Structure 1
């Protein structure tokens, strides 16, 4: 286990970067041209990013990025 000390500005920057990356993945998951194997890897990456996001973001922000698994399974 690692610990990190960051300033509030740095925390907000980390939140911004994670949100931007997760938004890109969510957008790409809707693209039908992308192969299902690639989408599976993207979903795994999303899980990791979301896990990091939950550590630095408030609960109400995290709720916006929870994936409806039944909807995304169809993709």
Structure 2
């Protein structure tokens, strides 16, 4: 496990970067033509980035990016 010390501005920047990455991956996961292997890799990466984001964001913000286990 690694530890980092960030100041307030760095935390906001990291939160912004993680949010943008989550948005991009969520957009990719909506693509029905996405290869199954690629989809699995993106879903795994989404989980990792989401857990990182959850450490910084408010519960209200976290709920915006939470994915249900059942895909529609």
TM-score by length of 2: 0.91
**1:48-59 aligned within 5 A:** 48-59=48-59
Match of residue 35 from structure 2:
35
Name segments (4+ residues, structure 1) moved above 4 Å: none
CA deviation profile, 1:20-41 (whole Å, cap 9, x unmatched) = 0111110011112210110000
Supply the distance in 2 between the matched residues of 1:36 and 1:3 (Cα, whole angstroms).
34
Supply the distance in 2 between the matched residues of 1:17 and 1:44 (Cα, whole angstroms).
18
Aligned-partner SS, 2:70: helix
Aligned-partner SS, 1:69: coil
Supply the distance in 1 between the matched residues of 2:31 and 2:5 (Cα, whole angstroms).
38
State how many pairs are aligned.
Answer: 72
Query: What value does the CA root-mean-square deviation take over the aligned residues?
Result: 1.1
Shift of 1:15: 0.6
Where is the helix percentage greater, Structure 1 or Structure 2? 1
Gaps of 5+ in 1: none
Gaps of 5+ in 2: none
